[in-house]
Amino acid sequence: MSTKVHDIRSISLNELNKFVVNNNFPKYRSSQIFNWINKCSVKSFDDMTNLPKSLIELLKVNFRFNFSKISSKQISVDSTMKFAIKLHDKLIVESVLIPSGDRVTACVSSQVGCSLDCEFCATSKLSRMRNLESYEIFDQIMLMNKQSIENYTHAISNIVFMGMGEPLLNYNNVINSINLITSDHGIEISNKKITLSTSGISKMIIKMADDNVKFNLAISLHSAIQSTRNKIMPFSKSFPLSQLIKSLEYWYKKTKRKVTFEYLIWNGINDDFEHINALVKICKRVPSKVNLIEYNSIDDPRFSKADELWVNNYLNILKENKVSASIRRSRGKDIQAACGQLANKH
């Protein structure tokens, strides 16, 4: 193993087992190390007080810690908090805490920047620098959980992968981080309280269903008409709606869990009955519910919030067709922490 190449948190328990045994230490030491680096979140090998000094020295030679830290924090008038989290290589991602009564939702990033090109999203204007490692996603949660307890007196109750990046283009690290977050090494949150939001990478949705994941799935849809989606989300030319719908039907068949469609309504883009009827048609094919989301400006003149009349038209027609639908009001707009606004502005 190359000297200090690996953050110790990037290797699995099985790999740690092999390392420990190959260096003539009893296998149970790997579980002790694993507990220190995850459950106890130690920041130094010297803090692993139940390990022999010879093993601590061996770990120092072969591994390192790449801890993330909060570099700045902003608080909205509605108590939402946005964090700039600095990674070990000085790159920044943003994360958000959203309090609501006894609930605190953490909005988590999966990439530095974003791989996709959604025209209405500020994050897409940042080039994708790299994927986050599983332990960096885990760090976001642990850092925010501490802030949640300190500021809201509640631990994080819900997690949404709706921050910077496309989670399904960083699949392994996202899945590994969720496994860690939900375990007794993390905050032991239920998978039912976690939602992964994707812009619609159909082949990866099929993989998630085959992998029998237990968390919830949301789709950043915004139009059920291919030509409109191509304009506002150009990448979707490679992931057409026909494939997306088939992958979602497969998801439901395998998991028996409804999909949530996230849907922004813009003036002159999708505020008409043709778009409403197209959405209803998809919802009748795929067991689902719809979140109608308030658009948050990113200073692009092509996009402006639709008239409230059209929001109500969507809501009423969806409900008439027995589709569960609700309006999601944005939080943290004044600090650019709302949906689509994360762009490392501090």
Catalytic (active-site) positions: 94, 339
Closest CA to 219 of 270, 279, 177: 279
Contact between 306 and 263 (Cβ < 8 Å)? no
User: What single-letter DSSP state applies at residue 128?
Assistant: P
Q: Token match 């690996």: residue?
A: 6
Written as six digits, the tokens of 137 are: 């996603």
> What CA–CA distance (Å, rounded) separates 121 from 115?
12
User: Which is it for the CA torsion 169, 260, 196, 183, positive or negative?
Assistant: negative
Cα separation, 22 vs 268, whole angstroms: 65
Rounded distance between C-alpha atoms, residue 108 and residue 125, angstroms = 18
What are residue 127's phi and psi, to 5 degrees? -75, 150
